[in-house]
Structure 1
Amino acid sequence: MVVIVLIGPWTVKGLGNMNTREFIPMSAAKSVVATRLTIRRGLGEAEAALYVGLGATKFSSLVRDGRMPRPRIIDGRRIWDVDDIDAAFRALPIEGEDNKDDNPWH
């Protein structure tokens, strides 16, 4: 089992024995998470960002400005519904097409 703990721009990755640690850049950690991401109905913020191909900072910005949906709350934890993300993603403008605004999250 691999345990990933986020610490700033770096990640501590526990490998098997919890006393053994290896420091890896966050970009490498994202690829590790992406390869292990299983399809679920609810996603945390980092997973939701990866789901649409963005970093967490950009995804948060899109949530704040209404282009991505706000999360649902489960016991204080913020969880994004995959169906809501899909609908918001489909409503984003397509390059070269008329930019009509029918995003339901505005």
Structure 2
Amino acid sequence: MSRLAPGTVSAAAALLVRRQAAPRRFLRLRDAALYVGVSESKFLQLVASTRLPQPFRVDGCVLWDLWELDPALDDLKDQARGGGSSVAMNKDKGWEGFDDAP
């Protein structure tokens, strides 16, 4: 593993900062998955199962629209909760019902 001199930023970190600083409505796969908070493969599974919206193409670029992702994410959340929260924070028990494993 290479070490960076103090005060330097890796190319990957600089790219991440630029991506976060640039507000966009349309996202490519990597950024859409990052926005949703899942891996690219899980994101594509959700798209294939129609739980997330289909992308569209602009001159060969495959893009997702944030305005379509947000309501789909709200629906996913509601389905996961089944009308109520399946994850309850309790000061005595912590995150009850929470399992981040696939």
Q: TM-score normalized by structure 2?
A: 0.59
For structure 1, which runs of at least 5 residues remain unmatched after alignment?
1-21, 23-28, 100-106
The answer as to 2:31 corresponding to 1:47 is yes
Q: Name the structure 1 match of 2:83.
A: 98
Larger fraction in strand:
1
Q: Name the structure 2 match of 1:84.
A: 68
Post-superposition Cα deviations, 1:4-62, rounded to whole Å, max 9, x if no partner, equal xxxxxxxxxxxxxxxxxx9xxxxxx5x76544323201100000000111110100000
Q: Helix, strand or coil: the match of 2:68?
A: helix
Q: What is the CA–CA distance in structure 1 between the aligned matches of 2:60 and 2:81, rounded to whole Å?
A: 41
Aligned residue pair count: 72
The answer to whether the Cα contact below 8 Å between 1:72 and 1:78 also exists between their aligned partners in 2 is yes
The answer to whether the Cα contact below 8 Å between 1:34 and 1:50 also exists between their aligned partners in 2 is no
Q: Name the structure 1 match of 2:98.
A: none
TM superposition shift of 1:76: 2.0
Instruction: Tell me which of 25, 33, 36 is aligned to 2:18.
Output: 36
Q: TM-score normalized by structure 1?
A: 0.57
Quickly say closer, same or farther: Cα 1:34–1:61, change in 2 above 3 A: farther
Quickly say closer, same or farther: Cα 1:33–1:52, change in 2 above 3 A: farther
- Give me the identity figure in percent: 35
For structure 2, which runs of at least 5 residues remain unmatched after alignment?
1-9, 85-102
TM superposition shift of 1:68: 0.6
Q: What is the CA–CA distance in structure 2 between the aligned matches of 1:89 and 1:32, rounded to whole Å?
A: 28
Quickly say closer, same or farther: Cα 1:96–1:68, change in 2 above 3 A: closer
